[in-house]
Amino acid sequence: MRYAIVTGASKGLGKEVAKLLLSHGIHVIGISRSTTLDLNANAAANEVTYQGIAYDLGNVEKLEELMETIVTDLINDDVSGLYLVNNAAVIEPIDQGVNISPASLAYHFQVNAVAPMALTNLCLQYANKKGIPMVGLTVTSGAAEKPMFGWTAYCSSKASINMYIKTIAKEQDDANHKIIAFSPGIMDTEMQEKIRSSEKSAFQAVDTFKAYQENNQLQQTEEIARIGVRIMLQDDAENGKIYYARDYL
């Protein structure tokens, strides 16, 4: 039996990824601040299970406890493979760095960087203990490679993810695991709505992002999810690689 843990599974890209994994006969455990019952029907149709957990990934102190609950209560002993999709992220605070409070900065990094790293580490520990292969995909962003006025937190957190993926993959190079990053590009999501509502004094490129919507340049989450899942499930996925959805469109 194969299992997948998907963060941010209640909506957007995470929900579409969860649907596709269920369609491949993979049991899915979704972690989101809010849960959804929509995926239960998808699971039943594919004779697998979907189990949702309401959890704020900003609470990194309890991640070990959360993972212990998952592996003890939600994953069967006959698990043969484990997938982790670190999709959950926040865009806020959108503002010049000089205006960002330490508390806001800390929460942002806890959700966008610390939680994905910690969950990957914990899943690797579990996979090594069970002697099963693990595939971890963390959603990154083009912002990791390009500084944007008003995105000091977001650009920095995603850049740290890219380096983490390359480093943890090097450490696991002799193991039967694949740890990769996936840059989905600009999608039609709630995050984009928040970006478009920004003040120009906080985010200089706001008009550019408004134009993406006006000119129908936003990719649909269903298509991007198909690309991400295809990369995850392919046998020749390259450990430590950052994959870009644009290369498959």
Per annotation, catalytic residue among 50, 154, 164, 243: 154
For residue 102, cis peptide bond before it (omega within 30 degrees of 0): no
8 A C-beta contact, residue 231 and residue 180: yes
**What is the rounded CA–CA span in Å between residue 47 and residue 225?**
21
Task: Indicate if 55 belongs to the active site.
Answer: no
Contact 76, 1 (CB under 8 A): yes
Reduced to 3 states (helix: H, G, I; strand: E, B; else coil), residue 157 is helix
Contact in structure between 92 and 108 (CB atoms under 8 Å): yes
Dig out the tokens for 93 from the structure.
């605070």
Backbone φ and ψ of 24, nearest 5°: -90, 10
Q: What are the residue numbers of the active site? A: 154
